[in-house]
Structure 1
Amino acid sequence: MTSLKRRIIQTTSTIIGNSYFEGFAKGTIYRGRLKSFCFPGLNCYSCPGAYASCPIGALQSVAAGFKFQISLYVIGFLMLIGTIWGRLICGWICPFGFFQELLYKIPSRKLKMPKILNKLKYFFLVVFVLLMPVLLTNEVGIGLPYFCKYICPAGTLEAGIPLTIKNATLRSAIGVLYYWKLMLLAMAIVFSILIS
């Protein structure tokens, strides 16, 4: 029963978090007031259906835009969610976590990942989300959202692919970076299927 309840919650939260259907139809993103709030899970800001922002993307955007000033809202939101629900968000609310879980159910021989590689996510968080946007800035002190731009597989799945399918202007701008991110998404998909 818990499994069914969890599936219902995962499906519902994915639909609610991505219910700006006009964005999918037109190949655009929602830019209204709700974008100033974070969705409690990895759900790309640029997803055509997303009403809210991704907390990881918001955190690095704040770090990139205000060299040493940290948004108390984003930090507070992440701490509140983490303190109250911990990893429950990943298993019950996060759309990308739901996608990975569905992939894991594909029958295959599962491989054990070395425990040391479990810590890799913290490396990416610290280096790409926090340090690089703060330290690698232009002459006016603005950094890039390095994780979103160069790595995030959720952004590729939820935003890159749907937007390039519907938007001819974006399709004409596809380059090496797009294919790099498709490769990272493909690796995330394979790892989600094969690694326990």
Structure 2
Amino acid sequence: MSLKRIIQFIASAITLGNYPAIWQGGIYQGPLKRGCVPILNCWGCPLSLFSCPIGALQHFFNLHLIPFYIAGFFGAVGTVVGRMACGWLCPFGLFQDLLYKFKTFKMGLPKFFSYMKYGVLIIVAGIIAWISGEPWFCKLCPAGIIEAGIPLVLADKTGDIRALVGWLFWIKMAILVLIINFSIFIKRFFCRAFCPVGAIYSVFNGFSMFRMMIDKDKCIECDSCKAVCPMNVPIHHKPHHIDCIRCLDCVKKCPTKAISYEAR
């Protein structure tokens, strides 16, 4: 198992570390929930110890407030490492990585899908949240249904939660099923097409403190880096690509050691 995969599992175990909820039920609401992790993480997950930055962003929008704290949080993380948190820390990213390991035919993703995540961020998590006063991205988030919706329904001993299950739950289930199916055939489908967290961090990829570097004198244009990339990024042509999650798989794979990750 690679170092990256080990760190992904450890990060997921910490982020979703409220293990007493397995036998006690309920949602952790202690002091750790006041802080966000730099990744997609459902607040309502019984195992979740921290808040989700997109959920917090929408909370401020619901109150018609400018989220300076959340903007500063994203800015601090993005300015230092760009989109690296997506590649090393995100449980839902790990979930998609594992789904893609299924031995079946694989598909590419049309380029325009990469821009849809900005629409999700601006329209769903931004404008609609501001106008409606409801966190609509959270209501539809596939990570939320797998981390919170399904576990809460299955763990419901009284039947109160199951009695509340309605059309929105089944819409979320349908979205999750679609994401799971596409993620088997397409590398990190949700991350590339719909994730608003990735949309924010991608803006910083071009000027973050740590970034991908290509030695053009060593590069032999073999495309080994693109073949191993979980985001299908042609890193040898676009080292600051918006979809690069700095997983460093390409650094390990490059036969001529032309790729590096270093501070400017």
Q: 1:140 maps to which residue?
A: none
Answering whether residue 98 of structure 2 is matched by residue 98 of structure 1, we say no
What's the offset of the Cα at 1:175? 1.1
Q: What's the CA shift for 1:24?
A: 2.6
- Aligned structure 1 segments of 4 or more residues deviating by more than 4 angstroms: none
Which ranges in structure 1 are unaligned for 5 or more consecutive residues? 137-142
Report the Cα offset of residue 104 of structure 1. 1.1
| Structure 1 CA distance for aligned equivalents of residues 23 and 169 of structure 2 | 22
Match of 1:188 in 2: 179
The letter of the residue matching 2:136 is Y
| CA apart distance, 1:172 | 1.7
Q: What is the aligned-residue RMSD (CA, Å)?
A: 1.2
- 1:135 CA displacement: 2.0
Is residue 104 of structure 2 the alignment partner of residue 115 of structure 1? no
**What is the TM-score when the length of structure 1 is the normalising length?**
0.90
Amino acid of the structure 2 residue aligned with 1:133: A
Q: How does 1:20-169 map to 2 (within 5 A)?
A: 20-65=18-63, 67=64, 69-136=65-132, 143-149=133-139, 151-167=140-156, 168-169=159-160
Q: Map Cα deviations across residues 146-189 of structure 1 (whole Å, 9 max, x no partner).
A: 1111x200000000011111013211211111111000001110
Q: 2:165 aligns with which of 139, 163, 174?
A: 174
CA positional deviation for 1:71: 2.3
Query: Partners in 1 of 2:24 and 2:174 — Cα distance?
Result: 26
Higher RCO (CA-CA < 8 Å; seq separation 6+): 1
Number of aligned residues? 185
Quote the Cα distance in structure 1 between the aligned partners of 2:94 and 2:136: 24
CA apart distance, 1:80:
1.3
> Which ranges in structure 2 are unaligned for 5 or more consecutive residues?
188-264
Alpha-carbon separation, structure 2, partners of 1:181 and 1:26: 25
TM-score (norm 2): 0.68
Q: Is the 8 A contact 1:27 1:162 kept in 2?
A: no
The one-letter amino acid paired with 1:45 is: W
| Rg larger for | 2
Change (3 A) 1:70 1:24: farther
Percent of aligned positions that are identical = 42
